[in-house]
Structure 1
């Protein structure tokens, strides 16, 4: 179990370093990446997909809104809630940082051969299935 935690921490540390160089925090990147290629999401849906509590997510969205990357829209059919959408600047940021982050991560995974990747994937699927 300890090795799984260490692998997760190493992955987070590695990816967080690049995200910071892109000018974002990890939670901000998660929100931008989750909203990318969508028409927007309610805070509830966004919280579920990013695994961030709604209270924390409000602060993240507030900061991204101040930077001009997201905006809150009230849907016509339901004025009780709002949808978080990427602004044109947010879309541009997504198109820049998402591929950059994938390429950055891919550099590490390219060090593994295909049989190693298949074994890791199978083990992760098996692990997920027991929870």
Structure 2
């Protein structure tokens, strides 16, 4: 996220419709980024486990991406993807779903620049989203 972006929705109650062009580029104004961060964590989703600090930051223009936050995918986010492929950590499936659930939004090209260790960590976090709550109680922390 580029901190110098002016808010394109300073008085709107819901800034997201006006910030969509920025969101497609993986950027938000400061106000919208704060709203996104406070609203994206849902019950059963702990932020500390969903943030991946990249071993090798990704350079995108002037922006340096050092960490990625993943949110739990919805059925729409998984369209066109075989769940079996995600479970097998298939790189194509991972790089397809990653732009749909990451903040900042990682493009397919950005996902292709990830170090293998970072990609494995992202795959682990995505896999954790598919574990039912009842089973999570029995897993070690």
TM-score (normalised: structure 1) = 0.35
More strand by share: 2
Larger Rg: 1
More helix by share: 1
